A and B are shown apart, each in its own frame.
Chain A
Amino acid sequence: QQQVKQSPQSLIVQKGGISIINCAYENTAFDYFPWYQQFPGKGPALLIAIRPDVSEKKEGRFTISFNKSAKQFSLHIMDSQPGDSATYFCAASTAGNMLTFGGGTRLMVKP
């Protein structure tokens, strides 16, 4: 199984609120889990990534939580800002660095 399932498909958050995006996977061979942010007309840009031997990683307002036993991981965006409005993709890779992407979450942060 190579799928990565992402939810929700779309999310509306008020400025200053917390945005939470969830992903689940089946393939236990995945060993690297990055999150990408994509603005219209642009390519995906790496936000933050985690290895499965770590349960949480924080970089600024962005935090990944990782639950290896449940095969789930999530992105939390604290103090969400209108500039965070974009599409977010979770992904997972095995040895060889071939990424399998989730379906994406379109985030809108209202002022």
Chain B
Amino acid sequence: DVKVTQSSRYLVKRTGEKVFLECVQDMDHENMFWYRQDPGLGLRLIYFSYDVKMKEKGDIPEGYSVSREKKERFSLILESASTNQTSMYLCASSFRQGANEQYFGPGTRLTVT
């Protein structure tokens, strides 16, 4: 079974803190994605990566950065957390070619106070 794990299920941070969200997948997938999910808005793509050290902006990249130093690991970084970044963050991975199924992690519920 594909497994996508995220470092924390729940996280509480203060405004201005630097926040790291980690995601690891064990299926040798090339593609990895970070989404945020807010009530009434659905999932929105923040960043994605199709290879090690490669990254592409999604629909809402402002206030976020990412890092992919190893194929299995994709990190989302909030350089200076703000209250409007309180959300559920979901990581996903998939094989590169075609419109393949994305497998999601369990999510991290981040609260910024």
Indicate, yes or no, whether A interacts with B: no
- Residues on B facing A (Cβ under 8 Å): none
